[in-house]
Chain A
Amino acid sequence: MEKILQVKDLNISFHTFSGEVKAIRGISFDLLKGETLAIVGESGSGKSVTTKSIMRLLPEHNSEIKSGEILFEGKDLTKLTDKQMQKIRGKDISMIFQDPMTSLNPTMKIGNQIMEPLIKHQNMSKHTAKERAVELLKLVGIPKPEIRVNQYPHQFSGGMRQRVVIAIALACNPKVLIADEPTTALDVTIQAQILELMKDLQKKIDTSIIFITHDLGVVANVADRVAVMYGGKIVEVGTADEIFYNPQHPYTWGLISSMPDMETDDEELYSIPGTPPDLLDPPKGDAFAPRNPYVLKIDLEQEPPFFKVSDTHYAATWLLHPDAPKVEPPEAVKRRQSQYVGLAGVASGAAKLEKSQTPGMKEGK
């Protein structure tokens, strides 16, 4: 499978009043053509900063890309000028944001907002652009598009606005769509509709999607592959099945166990103690160590490298080192692992010591 975007060893810091916040501390991942990669993490994990840095939308005055590359179509996006990035934004790489209420310009008609990238990037005439805008509104499921194309954002509901935002993002058939928590602010039923729409459009336009969210249910619904972020680093990456049924990193265990599902009964809900780390002063060793019930002495000394679990599944935890003791994951995770063994025929928990920084993929799912 072709790699459409490659992030290599990215390090980003913010210079604030109190000092340097190391928001991203060396992450690497690939995006394959036609896939949906979900980036999961909580506040402060760095998931939004990562995607904003791909689009070079971080505030100039206090952010700094300290090292690393973002390779897209043979170019390193971190080295491009703003003018060069403008040609890529909206055309090859598009982004949709969380809040549909503020993503649209309240003083511009919907039609004009959709036409803007068409006219700018594809040099369409106003007339052709308007036709295409109506087409796009139809594509995203807005009824009576010929009338609605002349309306203003306040005349649309939250879910409809998000559809319009999707239409604008997909106007130029981008190769990559970055969706930053696009359904977090929406009701459950509307969220379901938007997710269905996005999956449908992805098939039609063959775009690759990076989907950021903290909702594991949404991840299970849309993702082909999942990257779990914590404290500015990726701690585990794999296919959706691998992450949900055979997670290896204690943080992923924590996330999965702390979400009740239909089976959870009166037992106490597993919760990860403490709060995410202060990236002003990242801890030595594994950033998750202070909250990790399975912490080993070495976690406090040195950051774990990625250990290979399968060709598509990597986890950065010392628990996968051959010398590490065998541990029992929480109940909820064990239940899932028993489901997994039958699923892909891969034994759970296998590991090889491999200091691999870029979990690449040789084949698809």
Chain B
Amino acid sequence: MRKFININKYFIVKFLAGLLAAIVLPLFIKTPFPLHVMILICIWAIMGMGWNFIGGYAGQVSNGHALFYGIGAYTCGIGVKNFGASPWVTMWIGVMISMGIAFVLGAPLLRLKGHYFALATMAMAECGRIIFLNWSYVGGATGIDFFDRSKPSWYTMQFTSKYPYYYIFLFFVALILLLTKGLDKSKFGYYLRAIKANENSAQSVGIHTAKYKLLAFMLSAGIVSLAGSLYANYLQYIDPTVVMPLNISMMICLVAVMGGIGTVIGPLVGAIVLTIISEYTRATFSYINGFDLFVYGVLVIIIVLYMPNGLISLFNKKQKNKILTPLEMERK
């Protein structure tokens, strides 16, 4: 028990120090491009943390979270464009819709194991993309362009400066980081880890595995949808090729895996590193065709190959060897 409090105390100090650094840092930045990169970091961090619940803690690797990302983005877009609603409200409606869809699709799909689950979610996201591409109510391939100057900027979450975006997104990152931290050491978190370690034995000790997997799936869908809503408001333009490509589903995994799967701050670390690599390789190397993505791919391979437990294993020497299973945690 004391140990638990200790961890918490240090976590709070770390958290506040990190938050302070994140708040102060942009004040030294004078050009928008680095700020743009930081905003993307926030978006990817939220997505990575959301995906982490189902892919990291519960070990059910989904390769189709772009669907929820897109749904979040579209709910905001349609809300602003067709109903003049504030994104502050519609983003939560998006979360609800995503969770509902995750509930409906999760029930049959979560019965699948391993690669089958990954492929089924991939097919799910691909269906979503094609349906949105041909659905005229949501703009189809033309997408939604929802720049709206008629209402006050805080109501529509549309600013010309990047600072408000950054701080709003940072707030959500902090919120979800705290949520993850809270669930990390909760019964829910341990159940999910037990399911990841061995689903059959988790079932046999009385954990309702189907229920907890579904809950984790819905939670992660909701958070990823939130990220989609935020990104849509930042971009002020969405179409299915921007918010729903297969690549986004893979990148979400990549963020979590590079940082450290199944850990609290892993996805955040992954988002920082991956976004910086991706944006700066593009800005630096794009004068040769394809060279930027080539460098990006090589760097990803090196990091994933030599740090299979994520970049976080550099910081956390205790967990360097492997992520602890519940059994090992009990032993300690």
Q: Do A and B come from one complex?
A: no
- Spell out B's residues near A (CB within 8 Å): none
